[in-house]
Amino acid sequence: MAMLAVENLHVSYGHVHALKGITFELKEGEILALLGANGAGKSTTLRAISGLVAPRAGRILFAGKDLGKVPAHEIVRMGVAHAPEGRRVFATLTVEENLILGGYSRGRDRKGLEETRRQVYELFPRLYERRRQLAGTLSGGEQQMLSIGRALMAAPRLLLLDEPSLGLAPLLVREIFQTIKEINARGVTILLVEQNARAALRLAHRGVVLEAGRMVLAGSARELLGDERVKKAYLGEK
Amino acid sequence: MQEFLQQVVNGLTIGSIYALVALGYTMVYGILKLINFAHGELFMIGSFLAFTLIVSANLMEHIPHPVAGLVAVFLLVALMVAVIGLILERVAYRPLRRSSRLAPLVSALGASIFLQNAIMLVYGGGYLVFPENLVPNIEWSVGGINIGLMRVIILALSISLMLFLYLLVQKTRLGAAMRACSLDHDTARLMGINVDRIIALVFVIGPALGAIAGIMVGMYYRQINFTMGWAYGLRAFTAAILGGIGNIPGAMVGGLLLGILETIGAGYVAAAWKDVVAFIILILILILRPTGLLGERVAEKV
Ligand SMILES: Nc1ncnc2c1ncn2[C@@H]1O[C@H](COP(=O)(O)OP(=O)(O)OP(=O)(O)O)[C@@H](O)[C@H]1O
Ligand SMILES: [Mg+2]
């Protein structure tokens, strides 16, 4: 059984039909890259999975359970964490408070939370140095680390990452991708939305390409890296 | 100097009442970006329900100890007004959560008029008078400054409540969740926070604090009227703006400061000026520093 199954997903914002029937699966332990141009519907797909927008049609199954009527705050409890587009750290809260809220869904599991927080600080030592600082005063890269670290605090089985490399310097991008690989190696399944298609496909096992709310391509990362259409449209090759 | 200090103490007393009411405005604004115009009415209803319990239901006579009697009045009224606050949120605001910003504002005005008229129909339009001696008429003189027992109760109770709220919001996980909700509902939900429940909590805490302020005003000034929510609501709203709307410590500081300014204004300029002070401050703040004294730059979220 797939960990996540998205079946014929449709989402609308008012009369904007953002997703027009998307179907894909994610197996346990996998990294799936979700690619596409601006406005293709990548973020919307993630928002539908984590319950921030309601599907108009179709189903989303997580570990066999239909998420259709489950509110967002319950979906985290089931094991899906979402580091949203634009980081969305709580700017006037400290780094540590942001992490505490990341673990909010785990209730009073003090020991477990303490342990996860230690792991997050180990993964991102810079967050530890800045733990008493207000999140809004962090640099863009640090905010991205906080956003990912905060999602990890939920101890998710599935991690949704929306453009983690956006706006970061190349060196930092490499660092973030390395960290994503490490998180995956620790057993977290990852759905990775990226504009940076090449880097994402190097990391991912498989990829899915969206175009204007429809799925146009799907395959192994290697296939997609070699695909002429992908090369032309997303890898900037001729 | 002594007279000045006396004014300050008097100002702090009334200011702590403004602060309690201001917290209701600021907390609701913080989380819903909505001015709850009906909040002054909840304060007023607190006064009237206390009147009913004390005078009509004679609750104090049924409870052997006078302190226990008063505590019972405060708890019962706070609870009842909190329930009204919850109903208000459910009926007047929640259905409009996803609509334009104007709709809930109109709904708030409607709720305010509705509650005011409901009280007028039930209790009549005239003044009701709280009994004397609910609190023994003791007065102390500290360094030439006079302070009565009722003042001490008002100050002690308001300041303890504010301190409690401050610690709750700043030092607990629940408080962090409340602050997160006022920054970003969607991201708060991604953390596993039930935002509807946090909003409901705000509509319990704010009205309960407002009700307690209403009881204290009834006990202290003794005369209550169905329009009092407007006068106090305006001052408390001014206090919230003065401190920076949405900012909880700001509402506390704003309330105390407004109380002092108003009392000093009345004492040194002219008593007739008292009612104008709040207006002048409101206008000045809106022109000179719309974010209030402790308001943060609102750049992080619009
Ligand atoms: N809140 C909204 N209201 C109306 N339309 C929206 C909303 N959010 C997204 N859309 C529209 O839905 C479509 C898909 O948007 P989405 O954010 O999912 O794209 P994306 O693939 O993540 O793009 P990007 O790479 O720019 O982040 C776009 O046409 C967008 O304009
Ligand atoms: Mg996007």
- The predicted-structure confidence for A26-74, as pLDDT tens digits, reads as follows 999 999 999 999 999 999 999 999 999 999 999 999 999 999 889 999 9
pLDDT band at A238; cut points 50, 70, 90: low
Q: Is the dihedral of CA B173, B175, B176, B177 positive or negative?
A: positive
Residue in A closest to B300 by C-alpha: A91
Task: Over range B215-240, report the average pLDDT.
Answer: 95
ipTM above 0.85, yes or no: yes
Q: Is A44 in the pocket of ligand 1 (CB under 6 A)?
A: yes
pLDDT band at B300; cut points 50, 70, 90: very low
Q: Is A41 in the pocket of ligand 1 (CB under 6 A)?
A: yes
- The predicted-structure confidence for A72-119, as pLDDT tens digits, reads as follows 999 999 999 999 999 999 999 999 999 999 999 999 899 999 999 999
Task: Over range B15-25, report the average pLDDT.
Answer: 97
Mean per-residue pLDDT over chain A, rounded: 94
List the single range of A234-238, B77-81, B258-262 with lowest mean pLDDT.
A234-238
Structure tokens given for B118? 């409901």
Q: Is the dihedral of CA B154, B52, B37, B108 positive or negative?
A: positive
- The predicted-structure confidence for A212-225, as pLDDT tens digits, reads as follows 999 999 999 999 99
Q: Is the dihedral of CA B72, B73, B74, B78 positive or negative?
A: positive
Does B119 fall in a domain? yes
Task: Over range B63-85, report the average pLDDT.
Answer: 94
Question: Which residues span the domain enclosing B11?
Answer: 2-288
List the single range of A209-213, A229-233, B186-190 with lowest mean pLDDT.
A229-233
Q: Which of A226-230, B31-35, B275-279 has the highest mean pLDDT?
A: B31-35
- The predicted-structure confidence for B32-43, as pLDDT tens digits, reads as follows 999 999 999 999
How far off is chain A from B181, nearest CA to CA, in Å?
A: 9
Residue in B closest to A106 by C-alpha: B192
Does B294 fall in a domain? no
Residue B133: count other Cβ atoms within 10 Å of its Cβ: 7
* pLDDT on residue A7: 97
**B177·A136 Cβ contact <8 A:** no
Q: Which long-range contacts (CB under 8 A, 24 or more apart) does B134-141 make?
A: B134/B54, B134/B60, B134/B70, B134/B219, B135/B70, B135/B219
Best residue of A67, A92, A98 to probe chain B, by most B CBs closer than 10 Å: A92
* A202 pLDDT more than 80: yes
- Identity of the residue in A50, A91, A97 whose CB atom sits nearest the CB atom of B190: A50
Rg (CA), chain A: 17
Does B296 fall in a domain? no
* pLDDT on residue B299: 35
Does B243 fall in a domain? yes
Using a CB-CB distance cutoff of 8 angstroms, which residues of chain A are in contact with residue B183?
A: 90-93
* B121 pLDDT more than 50: yes
CA of A16, closest atom in ligand 1: 5
B76: domain CATH number is: 1.10.3470
Number of domains forming the structure of chain B = 1
Does B114 fall in a domain? yes
- Of how many residues is chain A composed? 238
Phi-psi domain of A167 (left: phi exceeds 0; alpha: psi -120 through 50; beta: other): left
Phi, psi of B113, deg, nearest 5 = -65, -40
* pLDDT on residue B297: 46
Three-point CA angle B19, B20, B26, nearest 5°: 75
Does B301 fall in a domain? no
pLDDT band at B296; cut points 50, 70, 90: low
Is residue A89 within 8 Å of residue A143, measured between CB atoms?
yes
Q: Is A16 in the pocket of ligand 1 (CB under 6 A)?
A: yes
Does B298 fall in a domain? no
Using a CB-CB distance cutoff of 8 angstroms, which residues of chain B are in contact with residue A101?
A: 173, 176-177, 180, 188, 191, 193
**A52·B189 Cβ contact <8 A:** yes
Does B125 fall in a domain? yes
Residue pairs spanning A and B at CB distance below 8 A: 70
pTM over 0.80? The answer is: yes
